[in-house]
Structure 1
Amino acid sequence: MPGLKFLICYPPLTCYISLMWRTLGFDREKEFFERAMKNGDVKHAYLFTGQDMIGKRTFALELVDKLVGAGTKNEATSQFDILFIDSSSSESGQTITIDAVKEIKNRLSMTAYSGGYKCCIINDAHRMTDEAQNALLKILEEPNEKVVIFLVASKPDLLKPTIKSRCEEIYFAPHGRKILDKLLSGEKLSENQKEFVAEFCGGRVGLLKNIIEKSSYKEIKTAIEELSRLEKADIGERFLEALKMLGEGDEKLLEKLLYWMLYLRSKMDNKKYAGVLERLQDLYVAISKPSTNKRFALENFLLHL
């Protein structure tokens, strides 16, 4: 039913998965959608929620392949029935605009090439502007047959309640340690390093894969050690560090701030970090904007660290 939140419950139940999946974990979600496909009970809109980089987008991408490919052997043709939208197509690269939603409406109004489902994934759906959300609401209110829309959002509270009420919400919980250990098993890291990476990722497979692909273990560890050092440093040392960080360029600075944010999120059981994380998130957004006085913004953050 619209607005239902499908939440995985524990203790775990036995799952019966018949399809082959590349995505690791999420067995209950796999079983849920396999059953829906088998019973012809696929809803017209779903909202995938959960932490950043936990695997929501990866799961959605594989799921739409299975939905669109059902009943057809023409993989090349079926790809025309999949639409993926995120903020990268906008001029700012930060929001999903009404133009993107208009494109969704146009594409979804066409008959499926494969003869099956047409699917749209809106990644980071919480980045939609108010205009875009209003336009999407109209699409959700008048769903086309055999059309399925997936909203992927780590900040669902930024979506209008009327949009959420028209989607079936599925929460993706952090992965267990077994999944992380499996991914790390073939990596050339010491046991201490693997332990550090697993703890840092906090059950987020997407983040762990990103670290493996970029071989960024050393950069992450250095950034975290630097944050710990700055917490104990005096104001003069903090301002000198700000100049050094700014001198490394925006890309390096944003990367370091991202590592700090991810680290603090893994420590959210400690209430003292909540305010720091909020200010750090504001700083990250500010540094991303060309018009920001970056030195002032960074020094202000470090002053209140």
Structure 2
Amino acid sequence: MADVPEADRVEGAPHPRDTRRLFGQEQAEARFLDAHAQGRLHHGWLITGPRGIGKATLAWRIARFLLAEEPGSGLFGPPETLDVDPAHPVARRIAAGAEPGLLPIRRAVDEKTGKLKTVITVDEVRRLRDFFGMSSAEGGRRIVIVDAADEMNPNAANALLKLLEEPPAGAMLLLVAHQPSRLLPTIRSRCRELRLSPLGPEAMAAALEQAVGEPRDGAALAELSGGSVGEALRILSGGGVELYVEILTLIGEIPRISRPALRKLCDSLSARAAEDRFDLLVRLFDLALARLARTGATGTPPPEAAPGEAQILQRLAPDARAARLWAGQASDLGARARAARAVNLDPGALVLDMFLRLEGAARHAVA
């Protein structure tokens, strides 16, 4: 399985089926367990929230819990957690991708290109007919995880809707959705929603330690990633924390950015991994300007994502006028750089242009 690309895997992190603990989403788990205890389990659940906050992990935890549940296990009171012993046969089969009662639906590999398709096609959803047909005689629950449901093309969405309208006996569909507004209203109306929230510093630190095996700065990464563990892992893998410090330091020198420091940053984009680093740099550049705009609009800086950040934000964004300046630059410069990069212009030159334009636009306002 390790050699097969998986659309629902974040690079550098365990697959959601292998992630044993879910941090920061206790309220969503409690809502599901409450429905389970009251015997009100719906056949369709829509798990929503920003990308990378644990939606897929929750879906796999629910599937593992339900498939491992023993008849009569509620005699001693309702379960208080979705945890399942890793040595349980169901848990071991799921870990091996060999559980007959569970079917994940996700973007498949294009046989012609060897790359993942950009959407979930109707062929993937049609697999459900065989899945439910072959297993109907065995009884018990049958669970489907669609990740991500908002990646289905129209034909796939319509095929899934038919199953939600007439679900087979014992079926449960768990739909992971980053942007539920993209789903058909009829799909949303036939599901109960479990909405997850971005992680705070403590939950982020715990989730990252589970993923990478060592402690990380949860406070900084919660800010830089917007509370998304998936995004935090991408930031970590690209040296994003250190990169953000470089960006913030340069912006903090306005009205006159250090030319040697700026050239050093631009030169770092000439390596083979320049494309990924450029994409990360532009995202963090956008974030720094957005945090400046937020500071000017609210009068209060957000929690620091780098040492000394609050002082820089307050100096450069003291009022609403400055907030409008930074917001305008954020919408213009990042989009300009991405468009230029799309036609293969030199990334170092693009970053130089970004900072110099920012310096020119902000110099008089800051002064």
TM-score, with normalisation over the residues of structure 1? 0.67
Query: Is 1:221 the equivalent of 2:244?
Result: yes
Matched residues in 1 for 2:234 and 2:158: separation? 34
Task: Say yes or no: does 1:154 pair with 2:178.
Answer: yes
Shift of 1:168: 1.3
Residue 43 of structure 1 is matched in structure 2 by 42
Kept in 2, the 8 Å contact 1:71–1:116? The answer is no
Gap regions ≥5 residues in structure 2: 1-19, 72-87, 298-322, 359-367
The corresponding residue for 2:100 is: 80
Q: How far 1:221 sits from its partner (Å)?
A: 2.6
Deviations along 1:128-177, one digit per CA (max 9) or x if unpaired, are: 11121122112211111111111111111111112111111221122333
Counterparts in 2 of 1:175 and 1:85: CA distance versus 1, 3 Å: same
1:119 & 1:265 partners in 2: Cα distance?
41
Q: 2:65 aligns to what?
A: 66
What is the Cα-based RMSD across aligned positions, in Å?
4.6
Map of 1:24 onto structure 2: 23
More off after superposition, 145-154 vs 63-72: 63-72
After superposition, the Cα gap between the structure-2 partners of 1:133 and 1:184, relative to the gap in structure 1 and judged at 3 Å, is closer
Partner of 2:131: 107
Q: Provide closer, same or farther for how the CA distance between residues 29 and 276 of structure 1 changes in structure 2, counting only shifts above 3 A.
A: same
Which of 224, 240, 253 is the equivalent residue of 1:200?
A: 224
Q: What SS is found at the alignment partner of 1:87?
A: coil
The DSSP-based 3-state class of the residue aligned with 2:100 is helix
What's 1:166 paired with? 190
Shift of 1:278: 9.9
- 1:177 maps to 2:212: no
Work out the CA distance in 2 between the residues paired with 1:103 and 1:137. Answer: 14
Matches within 5 A, 1:1-20: none
Q: For the structure 1 residues 51 and 242, does the alpha-carbon distance in structure 2 shift closer, same or farther, using more than 3 Å as the test?
A: farther
The range that moved more, 67-76 or 167-176, is: 67-76
Deviations 1:192-211 (A, max 9, x none): x5542232133323434555
| TM-aligned CA deviation for residue 29 of structure 1 | 1.7
The code of the aligned residue for 1:149 comes to L
More deviation, 80-89/203-212 = 203-212
Paired residue total: 274
Look up the match of 1:4: none
Q: Which has the higher contact order (CA 8 A, sep 6+)?
A: 1
Cα gap change, 1:232/1:246 in structure 2, threshold over 3 Å: closer, same or farther? farther
Q: Secondary structure at the match of 2:120?
A: coil
Which of 88, 92, 95 pairs up with 2:119?
Answer: 95
The residue that corresponds to 1:130 in the other structure is: 154
Unaligned runs of 5+ in 1: 1-20
Match in the other structure for 2:163 = 139
Q: Secondary structure at the match of 2:134?
A: coil
| Cα offsets for 1:60-113 (capped at 9, x unmatched) | 111111112222864256722112222253555321111111123332333269
CA shift at 1:22, angstroms? 2.0
Change in CA separation of 1:278 and 1:145 when aligned onto 2, cut-off 3 Å: farther
Sequence identity percentage: 26
Structure 1 range deviating more: 257-266 or 50-59: 257-266
Equivalent residue in structure 1 for 2:145, among 79, 104, 121: 121
Q: CA 1:51–1:147 in structure 2 vs 1: closer, same or farther (change >3 Å)? A: same
C-alpha distance in 2, partners of 1:259/1:151?
30
Q: 2 CA distance for matches of 1:145 and 1:169?
A: 21
Q: What TM-score results when the alignment is normalised by the length of structure 2?
A: 0.57
Q: Check whether the contact 2:208–2:233 (CA below 8 A) recurs between aligned residues.
A: no
